[in-house]
Amino acid sequence: MRYVCLLLFCICYVATGDNEDEMEYRRRRIIEQLVDTRPAILPGYQLVTRHVGVDVFMYRTYRTVAVVFYPVANDLSDARFTFQCEELHLNNIGSCSPQEVVIHLKRGSYPAVNPDGYDFPKTFLNPALREETIHTLELLSDGTNTTYSIQSPKSGIWYALAYIKWQDPRAQKVEQQGLVADCHTILYTDLQIKPHDPVRYLNCYKSLTVDYDELPVQYKCLARDGLEPIKLDVNVINNTISNAYITVKVQSNSPPTENDYILYCKFPSQNKTQMVMFHTHPKTHHYIQLDVNEGNGTDIKDCESYDENNFDENENRSLTALMRDDQDRFFTFAFGLPTTDLQDVTSLINLTASEIKVLRFEVNQFLDIGGSLAIESSLIIMSKGYYGGYKRERVKGTLLGFTEDNQFFKVVICLNIGHASIPLQSGFCRFNDKLTPALFVLNSTDSDSIYDKMIIPYPEGGLWYLTMRLFCDKVVCPCPTSADGTKYYVGTTEKDSDDLSTFSNVTRDGVTACNTTVLLSLSSASCVSGKCSNHGNCGLNTFSGLVMSFCSCSAGYGGWDCSDESRVDSLAYMLVSVFLLTLSNLLFFFSIYVATIRLYYVEAVMYAFTMLFSTFYHACDAPAQVAYCIMRGNILQFGDFYCGLMSFWVTLLAMSIIGLSLKSFLQIIGAIVIALLTTWNMHSIVSFLLPVAFGAVVMLISWYVDYRKTRFFRYPKSYYSIYMPLGLVLVSVGLICYAFLQTEQNYKIVHSLWHMIIAVSVVFLLPDVRRRASNPFVPNRECLKSPFYSYFRRSRPQSP
């Protein structure tokens, strides 16, 4: 008995302790090598930060992404990001192949991407329209260095999102731990910066004198906190060339580059004085670069076009800072007009056609960027025949009728980070000479266009500006009037009507003065409005002090808010899968029957519990549409794995030739050890091989000892020649299917075969030696003579 316990202890120690120690040693050794590696610093560059040993995983959701951040300072000419990925081989099985690693870089917030191919929800702001660009690069985890340089980067916090390239999980194999190479991808990254040449400081609000002989030259100035544009008077001296142009290029927060600027214009060099006007980013440093262009410069806009006519709207702009309402939960806050009403920060914005209203709010760096910013806006219209969400009167199918008191107007709303733009009647927003689509264009024509909503995932930290402008029906008139002159029709001609008598030859001009009220809601929450539709859970991912929210979808749903059902299986398919995985366990009834008639009652009980736990676990582990759980899923999963391993253990002990006392002892020891192994790691191959290997050793030793004593085989010849080989073949086929052939796509079929093969194999492996010369599959009278049944017999009354 001492040797048995010693052998069991050695197997446990070697299989668990040494394996974990070796894996941890290898991991530490490789990471230490990376730490000791000295990065090659280029001349003129400075090493700012580095991250060593960042775990990188296959993309499934944002739960599996790795995020690192880099502080980027001001006045840089180049930021050089270095990435190196390697594979940690943590066991001695097989080899590790390089993985495709994808890295996204972005300033101000986490990159919002969809590597799994799902479309963004319709209410999401298109990432391509956001002002901060996402830089993407791909590399292999083969230990080679990959660098990515960004010229004249904007200062602030830059974030890198890293993951192994997404693969469809339905086509991937289900690998058993301990049978395949244990590979782990780690990332090393650092940031080197190159400072810009010294930049001259100036006051943007005073005149600038430039010596022509010193060109090109660059200046830096700080814009005031306000909406007024900068009017920079440039005085050129010592000019000797008359056919050249002087170019002016302006950028905020970083030196301008060839394609990155907020203003690029030219003026003739013979102009001694030139005024250059441009809108600014409030409270931000601006870089002004002056250079000489001796060509015709036809592709460069004239600075004369930036005259005061393009800045007239600025006189009508008013700036209001919104109040922040925190709710003391992750990423849960709102913005509204300053108010004492703490119950609701929804704002009512009164607009007139003669003004532009600018609302400003701040998203904090680190603290606020991990959620989603939701912006909702609606026109409040109360007039005859039209209230709230009810549509106006429709004439001739699609014609919208308007009365004198019920006029057309629209509100154009722009959203920008760092600066405010000017809404245009065309539905675009202008900032200097750049046009971008407006966030919302609200029309008073019908209820489909008076309301709009937009969600911004992972908003950038900084000052945001929301600009609103009202346009009256002058923009669509003159309009043909009705025959009686009481109505006019927007965007309608006589050809659009079947009844020409409904129109008159008189047109009516629209009005230029109007007013309305806009209902604005501006709030932030985790995930998407605090939830993940009805098909997922909202979770939080943390790394290095950073937190982001994400949606973990279930039942085949996908997308940012788990509302995409393009890859959801049909209900019939899900039902067939569940029935295969659950009803395949019914073959254990045959195992229970055979074990009972052969007088193996402990084994029969284990087979019964294996059948029950496996059936109810797979019913609970099914998609939510067809799942049925009698208790928590983790309990059912534990019972499934535990009873399955115990069935192998008691079957091997039943095949052994040992006494009842030793068998009972080994059954109890096995029950405890298997419970520990299942709790330690139920998915590891060690948890399966350890009890099976030890049970096989006990069985073979008992057979050998019994043969040495008796010089004959204990079991019938048919058992050794027919039943046991057939049972071993079935078990081998089942193990091959379970360990090597399963994929996510064929799981329901292969795993169901595993259930059936194991249930049938037990029938051939249990030796029928407790009965005398009986058919192994048919009960006999000895079954009823068993002490087990004596408890159910009625005793005959004794005669007096």
**Closest to 70 in 3D by CA, of 82, 61, 55:** 82
Averaged pLDDT for residues 628-657: 92
In the chain, the N- to C-terminal Cα span, in Å, equals: 54
582-629 residue pLDDT tens = 999 999 999 999 998 888 899 999 999 999 999 999 999 888 788 899
Rounded Cα gap, residues 482 and 500, in angstroms:
10
Rounded Cα gap, residues 787 and 441, in angstroms:
86
pLDDT recorded at residue 15: 45
Averaged pLDDT for residues 193-206: 88
127-136 residue pLDDT tens = 777 888 999 9
Averaged pLDDT for residues 229-247: 83
The yes-or-no verdict on residue 98 having pLDDT over 50 is yes
Rounded Cα gap, residues 425 and 417, in angstroms:
21
The yes-or-no verdict on residue 309 having pLDDT over 80 is no
Averaged pLDDT for residues 723-740: 87
Per DSSP, which regions of 381-483 are E strands? Answer: 382-383, 386-387, 394-395, 399-402, 409-417, 422-423, 428-431, 434-437, 440-443, 451-457, 462-472, 479-482
pLDDT recorded at residue 300: 85
Task: Identify the residue whose tokens are 């920008």.
Answer: 416
3-state secondary structure (DSSP) of residue 535 = coil
Confidence of residue 183 (pLDDT cuts 50, 70, 90): confident
pLDDT recorded at residue 770: 73
Domain ranges of the chain: 48-195, 200-306, 316-525, 531-564, 571-787
pLDDT recorded at residue 31: 66
428-453 residue pLDDT tens = 999 988 889 999 998 876 556 788 89
pLDDT recorded at residue 10: 47
pLDDT recorded at residue 37: 62
3-state secondary structure (DSSP) of residue 170 = helix
Long-range Cβ pairs for the range 322-326 (8 Å, 24+): 322/347, 322/359, 322/360, 322/361, 322/522, 324/361, 324/362
Sorted by sequence, the CB contacts under 8 Å of residue 145 that are 6+ apart come out as: 82, 83, 84
Q: Note the CATH architecture for domain 571-787.
A: Up-down Bundle (1.20)
Averaged pLDDT for residues 346-371: 90
CB 105 within 8 A of CB 111: yes
Rounded Cα gap, residues 113 and 161, in angstroms:
9
Lowest mean pLDDT among 36-45, 287-296, 388-397: 388-397
**Residue-wise DSSP of 74-110:** SSEEEEEEEEEEEEEE-SSSS-PPPPEEEEEEEESS-
| φ/ψ of residue 86, rounded to 5 | -135, 160
pLDDT recorded at residue 21: 60
Average pLDDT, the chain: 82
**Closest to 250 in 3D by CA, of 260, 261, 236, 258:** 261
Distances (CA, A) of 235 to 206, 246, 272, 461, 785: 11, 11, 6, 38, 117
The yes-or-no verdict on residue 406 having pLDDT over 70 is no
Confidence of residue 47 (pLDDT cuts 50, 70, 90): very high
Confidence of residue 83 (pLDDT cuts 50, 70, 90): very high
**Residue-wise DSSP of 281-324:** -TT-EEEEEEEEE-S--TTSEEGGGSSGGGGGGGGGEEEEEPEE
The yes-or-no verdict on residue 505 having pLDDT over 80 is no
Structure tokens at 577: 């899968």
Structure tokens at 405: 């008191």
689-712 residue pLDDT tens = 889 899 999 999 999 998 888 888
The yes-or-no verdict on residue 639 having pLDDT over 80 is yes
The class that CATH gives domain 48-195 is: mainly beta
Averaged pLDDT for residues 114-127: 88
- The fraction of the chain above a pLDDT of 70, given in percent, is 80
What is this structure's pTM? 0.81
Averaged pLDDT for residues 77-81: 93
| Count of residues making up the chain | 800
Give 226's DSSP letter: S
Lowest mean pLDDT among 175-184, 267-276, 314-323, 373-382: 175-184
pLDDT recorded at residue 623: 82
Confidence of residue 344 (pLDDT cuts 50, 70, 90): low
Rounded Cα gap, residues 706 and 704, in angstroms:
5
Rounded Cα gap, residues 132 and 256, in angstroms:
15
539-562 residue pLDDT tens = 998 887 889 999 988 878 888 889
The yes-or-no verdict on residue 388 having pLDDT over 60 is no
Per DSSP, which regions of 108-182 are E strands? Answer: 135-140, 145-151, 156-164
Q: How far out from the chain centre does Cα 238 lie?
A: 59
Averaged pLDDT for residues 275-280: 89
**Closest to 786 in 3D by CA, of 800, 775, 770:** 770
